[in-house]
Structure 1
Amino acid sequence: MVLDEMASELEWFQPYRKVLEWDPPHAGWFLDGKFNITFNALDRHVRGPVKNRLAYIWEGEDGRIRKLTYYDLYREVNRLAGALRAMGVEKGDRVSIYLPMIPELPVAMLACARIGAVHSVVFSGFWAKAFKERAMDAEARVAITADAFYRRGKIIKLKETLDMVVDDIPSIEKVIVVDHLGEEVNMKEGRDIYWDDALEGMDYELACEELDSEDPLFILYTSGTTGKPKGVLHTHGGYAVGVNATYRFVFDVKDEDIWWCAADIGWITGHSYIVYAPLMAGATSIIYEGAPDYPDPGRIWSMIERYGVTLFYTAPTTIRLFMKYGEKWPEKYDLSTLRILGSVGEPINPEAWMWYYRTIGGSRCPIMDTWWQTETGMHMITPLPVTPLKPGSAGKPFPTVVADVVDDDGESIRGRGGHLVIRTPWPAMFRTLFRTLIGTLRHTGAHSREYT
Structure 2
Amino acid sequence: MADSVEQLISVPLQELPQRWRSASRAEEIARARALHDRDPDEYWAWAAGKQRWMRPWDEVRSGDLPEFRYFTGGLLNVADNCVDRWAEDPATADRAAVVWEGEPGDTRTVTYAELARETSALAAGLLELGIGKGDVVAIYLPNLVEAFTAIHACNRIGAIYTVLFSGFGKDAVTARLKVSGAKAVVVADASYRRGKLVPLLETLRTARPGLPDLGHVVVLDRTGRDLPLEAGEVSYADLVARHPEGTPAVPLEANDPAFLIFTSGTESTPKGVVHSVAGFLVGTWANAYWQAGLEQGDVYWVAADVGWLTFPIQAVIGGLACGTTIACYEGALDTPTKERFYEFCERHEVTQVLAAPTVLRMLRSFGEDLCAAHPLPHLKLITVQGEPLDAETFTWAGAHLDVPIVNAYGQTETGSTWTYPVTGVDALKAGSAGRPLPGHDCEIVDDDGLPVPAGTKGNLVITRPFPTLARTVWGDHERYLSAYFNQFPGRYNTKDEAVLDADGHLWVLGRADDVINVAAHRISTMEIEGVVTAHERVAEAAVVGVPDPTKGTVPIAFVTLLAGADADSVSAELIRRVGEELGGYARLAKVYPVTALPKTRTGKTMRRLLRDVLVEGAPRGDTSAMEDPGALDAVLTAVSAAR
Class of the TM-score when normalised by the shorter of the 2 chains: over 0.9
1:393 Cα shift?
0.7
State the SS of the aligned residue for 2:186: strand
Check conservation: 1:160, 1:185, Cα contact below 8 A: no
Match in the other structure for 1:426: 466
Identity across the alignment (%): 36
Greater relative contact order (CA < 8 Å, ≥ 6 in sequence): 1
Q: How does 1:59-138 map to 2 (within 5 A)?
A: 59-138=101-180
- Does residue 417 of structure 2 align to residue 379 of structure 1? yes
Check conservation: 1:115, 1:209, Cα contact below 8 A: yes
Following the alignment from structure 1 to structure 2, what is the Cα–Cα distance between the partners of residues 158 and 186? 14
State the SS of the aligned residue for 2:364: helix
Check conservation: 2:179, 2:270, Cα contact below 8 A: no
Match in the other structure for 2:427: 388
Q: Which amino acid is the alignment partner of residue 261 of structure 1?
A: V
Check conservation: 2:77, 2:156, Cα contact below 8 A: yes
- Aligned CA distance change for structure 1 residues 43 and 425 (closer, same or farther; 3 Å): same
Following the alignment from structure 1 to structure 2, what is the Cα–Cα distance between the partners of residues 195 and 27? 38
Matching residue within 420, 424, 439 for 1:400: 439
Following the alignment from structure 2 to structure 1, what is the Cα–Cα distance between the partners of residues 239 and 153? 13
- CA deviations 1:87-127 (Å, max 9, x no partner) are 00110000111111111111101001100000111100111
1:253 Cα shift?
0.8
1:418 Cα shift?
0.4
Following the alignment from structure 1 to structure 2, what is the Cα–Cα distance between the partners of residues 71 and 168? 40
Q: Which amino acid is the alignment partner of residue 229 of structure 2?
A: M
Match in the other structure for 1:153: 195
Q: How does 1:181-330 map to 2 (within 5 A)?
A: 181-183=223-225, 185-189=227-231, 191-330=232-371
Check conservation: 1:380, 1:401, Cα contact below 8 A: yes
1:438 Cα shift?
2.3
State the SS of the aligned residue for 2:409: coil
Q: Which amino acid is the alignment partner of residue 437 of structure 2?
A: F
Check conservation: 1:218, 1:234, Cα contact below 8 A: yes
Q: Which amino acid is the alignment partner of residue 369 of structure 1?
A: N
Check conservation: 1:148, 1:183, Cα contact below 8 A: no
Check conservation: 1:61, 1:150, Cα contact below 8 A: yes
State the SS of the aligned residue for 1:328: helix
Following the alignment from structure 1 to structure 2, what is the Cα–Cα distance between the partners of residues 232 and 258? 30
Q: Which amino acid is the alignment partner of residue 66 of structure 1?
A: R
Q: Which amino acid is the alignment partner of residue 196 of structure 1?
A: A
- CA deviations 1:191-237 (Å, max 9, x no partner) are 11111112222034421010000011110011244443200100111
Alignment TM-score, normalising by the size of structure 1: 0.94
Q: Which amino acid is the alignment partner of residue 394 of structure 1?
A: A
Higher mean C-alpha deviation, range 201-210 or range 146-155: 201-210
Alignment TM-score, normalising by the size of structure 2: 0.67
1:187 Cα shift?
2.0
Following the alignment from structure 2 to structure 1, what is the Cα–Cα distance between the partners of residues 254 and 387? 31
State the SS of the aligned residue for 1:383: coil
- CA deviations 1:150-174 (Å, max 9, x no partner) are 1111111111111111122000111
Q: Which amino acid is the alignment partner of residue 436 of structure 2?
A: P
Following the alignment from structure 1 to structure 2, what is the Cα–Cα distance between the partners of residues 103 and 229? 27
Following the alignment from structure 1 to structure 2, what is the Cα–Cα distance between the partners of residues 193 and 297? 38
Check conservation: 1:17, 1:32, Cα contact below 8 A: yes
Match in the other structure for 1:52: 94
Following the alignment from structure 1 to structure 2, what is the Cα–Cα distance between the partners of residues 339 and 218? 31
Structure with higher Rg: it is 2
Q: Which amino acid is the alignment partner of residue 90 of structure 1?
A: G
- Identify the structure with the greater helix proportion: 2
Check conservation: 2:64, 2:464, Cα contact below 8 A: no
Q: Which amino acid is the alignment partner of residue 407 of structure 2?
A: D
- CA deviations 1:262-313 (Å, max 9, x no partner) are 0111111011011001111110011000100001111011111121111111
Higher mean C-alpha deviation, range 312-321 or range 196-205: 196-205
Following the alignment from structure 2 to structure 1, what is the Cα–Cα distance between the partners of residues 293 and 138? 33
State the SS of the aligned residue for 2:126: helix
State the SS of the aligned residue for 1:89: coil
Following the alignment from structure 2 to structure 1, what is the Cα–Cα distance between the partners of residues 166 and 261? 13
Q: Unaligned stretches of 5+ in structure 2?
A: 1-41, 482-643
Higher mean C-alpha deviation, range 406-415 or range 236-245: 406-415
Higher mean C-alpha deviation, range 417-426 or range 302-311: 302-311
1:24 Cα shift?
3.3
- Aligned CA distance change for structure 1 residues 62 and 207 (closer, same or farther; 3 Å): same
Check conservation: 1:160, 1:186, Cα contact below 8 A: no
Following the alignment from structure 2 to structure 1, what is the Cα–Cα distance between the partners of residues 170 and 400? 40
Following the alignment from structure 2 to structure 1, what is the Cα–Cα distance between the partners of residues 422 and 208? 45
Q: Unaligned stretches of 5+ in structure 1?
A: 442-452
Match in the other structure for 2:80: 39
1:50 Cα shift?
1.1
Match in the other structure for 2:573: none
Q: Which amino acid is the alignment partner of residue 448 of structure 2?
A: D
1:439 Cα shift?
7.9
Following the alignment from structure 2 to structure 1, what is the Cα–Cα distance between the partners of residues 189 and 280? 32
- Does residue 385 of structure 2 align to residue 344 of structure 1? yes
Higher mean C-alpha deviation, range 91-100 or range 203-212: 203-212
Following the alignment from structure 1 to structure 2, what is the Cα–Cα distance between the partners of residues 294 and 272? 26
Following the alignment from structure 1 to structure 2, what is the Cα–Cα distance between the partners of residues 2 and 102? 34
Q: Which amino acid is the alignment partner of residue 405 of structure 1?
A: I
Query: May I ask how many residue pairs the two structures share in their alignment?
Result: 437
1:185 Cα shift?
3.3
Match in the other structure for 1:446: none
State the SS of the aligned residue for 1:72: helix
